């Protein structure tokens, strides 16, 4: 079950770097709120696959449910309730505002992962 995959690890580092750049330098109405949310589930998927040899759909569903959980915690104002509202890092990583459309972005990101993985597996 535990198996290091260099390709997924490099992909997760690359996507993490892109996410940091988006968080630091982009403040628009499309890339930061929506593309960032699509990318974050792809990042989480690649990170899990970098260390675990698990099936595509199982991993994708796990990541999607985790993203939904985090969004639900945003709805419940978890950052404030934990006393982390003054922490820029906590506010950036966990988030502070619930948006229904984020759930759609996460779902789209996971569907993209499944589609790419199906083509990759079929090609092999």
Q: If DSSP states are collapsed to H, E and C, what string results for 47-94?
A: HHHHHECCCHHHHHHHHHHHHHHHHHHHHCCHHHHCCCCCCHHHHHHH
Q: What is the mean pLDDT of residues 23-40?
A: 93
Q: What is the mean pLDDT of residues 30-37?
A: 92
pLDDT band at residue 11 using 50, 70 and 90 as cut-offs: very high
The mean pLDDT value of the chain amounts to 94
pLDDT at 124 over 80: no
The pLDDT value recorded for residue 100 is: 95
Token pair listed for 12: 């997760």
CB atoms within 10 A of CB 36: 18
pLDDT at 93 over 90: no
pLDDT at 114 over 90: yes
In angstroms, how far is CA 92 from the centroid of its own chain?
Answer: 13
């Amino acid at each position: 079950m535990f198996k290091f995959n260099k390709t997924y690890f490099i992909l997760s580092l690359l996507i993490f770097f892109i996410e940091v750049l988006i968080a630091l330098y982009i403040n628009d109405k499309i890339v930061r709120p929506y593309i960032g949310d699509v990318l974050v589930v792809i990042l989480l998927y690649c990170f899990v696959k970098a260390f675990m040899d698990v099936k595509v759909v199982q991993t994708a569903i796990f990541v999607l449910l985790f993203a939904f959980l985090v969004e639900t915690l945003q709805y419940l104002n978890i950052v404030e309730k934990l006393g982390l509202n003054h922490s820029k890092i906590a506010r950036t990583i966990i988030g502070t505002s619930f948006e229904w459309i984020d759930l759609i972005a996460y779902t789209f990101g996971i569907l993209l992962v499944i589609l790419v993985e199906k083509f990759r597996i079929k090609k092999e």
